[in-house]
Amino acid sequence: MHQETFVRELYKKNGRNNSLLDIVSSVLDISYDAAHRRISMKSKFSIDEAIELASHYGISMDTLFHKEEHVLVKKTKEITSFQELALYLASSIKALQEYQADTSTLMYYSAKDIPLFYTLQNNVLSKFKLFVWLNLLDFEREPQSFESFQLKAPTVENSQKLNDFYAQTNRHEIWNDTTINSTLQQIIYFYQSGLLSSEDAKTLCESVKELVADIEKKCTAKNEHYKLYYHDLLILNNNVLVTDQHQKSLFVPYTMLGYFITKDIDTCQNSLNFFQHQLKNSKLINTAGTRDKKIFFNKAYQKIDFYKNQITGSLEFQ
């Protein structure tokens, strides 16, 4: 009975576009005849084989056989060093390689913080974010000044690959008035800790302002490639949903950079429904009137200037 249930789920997950026989043979590295015997239930899957197929199709055994609300998830690499950060970025790239880096792929981003992809570029703000992550995630790391912090090649290369993927896909981002807060708070924190000079801190504030200005330029009614939404009630959480015509992946944060990743069909569809409902309750900045658009971006500029003035003001009292 269990094998029949499992095979039925394999057919459901496989859909009509691919031969289940081909997939089972390929994933388990067995002959077509051996795959056929298992699918036709003339022989049984081993435990290892069932796990391999469940992992390939994103099937949760708990949900399938016990009808509990469990889903199968993977997780990104843990980060406590430069090497592990490079591996994290590489694993993130791998998770996205199933999707075409073009406009056939759509990404939804609930931006509690400035989206990760904006801080994976070759500029001072990207360097600062890497500096922050390693200082906060490497518990054994001795405090290091931003001035002495050096980037390393694998991290830079993998960052660029992720940034390229993001730049070439269609994106729906939901922001609110607090999305830029954490980055500005990090600038102030490391400045007050003596690990960031006043000049670098002010330069970083200007870099955040330039990033916001670039986003403002992209927010036009004709830009179908990028859409920015403003939601003043929803508590954003950095969830990311990637979808195309054939599949969906949901990324759910559990630490500063750590994500659980699931391809569970029902979970991803529920997430898509939720995103689409929230978009209806949000203001699309691209098509907003001049007044509403200026109000949104001017709030961000004023907040950045406030933090920059805190740095300047503290210097006057020294």
Q: How far apart are CA 312 and CA 82, in angstroms?
A: 32
Burial of 277 per CB tally in 10 Å (0-12, 13-18, 19+): exposed
* Residue 314 pLDDT class (50, 70, 90 cuts): low
Q: Regarding predicted confidence, which is higher, 12 or 208?
A: 208
C-alpha neighbours within 13 Å on the C-beta side of residue 47:
0
Q: How far apart are CA 191 and CA 181, in angstroms?
A: 15
Say what the pLDDT of residue 296 is: 96
The tens digit of pLDDT for each residue in 190-227 reads 999 999 999 999 999 999 999 999 999 999 999 999 99
The tens digit of pLDDT for each residue in 140-197 reads 777 789 999 887 767 778 888 888 888 889 999 999 999 999 999 999 999 999 999 9
Sequence-ordered alpha helix ranges (H) in the chain: 2-14, 20-28, 32-39, 47-57, 61-66, 82-96, 124-137, 153-168, 181-192, 198-218, 265-280, 290-316
Pairing of strands 106-110, 170-175: parallel
Say what the pLDDT of residue 1 is: 66
Q: How far apart are CA 209 and CA 258, in angstroms?
A: 27
Q: Say whether pLDDT at 245 is over 90.
A: no
Q: Regarding predicted confidence, which is higher, 312 or 61?
A: 312
Strand partners, 305: none
**What letter would DSSP give residue 142?**
P
Say what the pLDDT of residue 75 is: 83
Q: Which among 51, 52, 74, 49 is positioned nearest to 62, based on CA atoms?
A: 51
> How far from 317 is each of 196, 283, 313, CA to CA, in Å?
18, 42, 7
Q: Say whether pLDDT at 109 is over 80.
A: yes
Say what the pLDDT of residue 114 is: 95
* Residue 17 pLDDT class (50, 70, 90 cuts): low
Q: Say whether pLDDT at 315 is over 70.
A: no
Q: Regarding predicted confidence, which is higher, 261 or 139?
A: 261
Give the residue extent of every domain in the chain. Answer: 2-72, 75-316
Backbone φ and ψ for 108, nearest 5 degrees, come out as -110, 135
Q: How far apart are CA 133 and CA 11, in angstroms?
A: 42
* Residue 87 pLDDT class (50, 70, 90 cuts): confident
Say what the pLDDT of residue 316 is: 52
Backbone φ and ψ for 292, nearest 5 degrees, come out as -65, -40
Say what the pLDDT of residue 208 is: 97
Percent of the chain with pLDDT over 70: 93
Sequence-ordered alpha helix ranges (H) in 107-172: 124-137, 153-168
Mean pLDDT, to the nearest integer, of 79-102?
Answer: 83
Q: How far apart are CA 51 and CA 184, in angstroms?
A: 45
What region, left, alpha or beta, does residue 74 occupy, with left being phi > 0 and alpha being psi -120 to 50 degrees?
A: beta
3-state secondary structure 76-117: CCCCCCHHHHHHHHHHHHHHHCCCCCCCCCEEEEECCCCCHH
Q: Say whether pLDDT at 306 is over 90.
A: yes
Mean pLDDT, to the nearest integer, of 277-293?
Answer: 95
Say what the pLDDT of residue 234 is: 80
What region, left, alpha or beta, does residue 256 occupy, with left being phi > 0 and alpha being psi -120 to 50 degrees?
A: alpha
Q: How far apart are CA 166 and CA 218, in angstroms?
A: 15
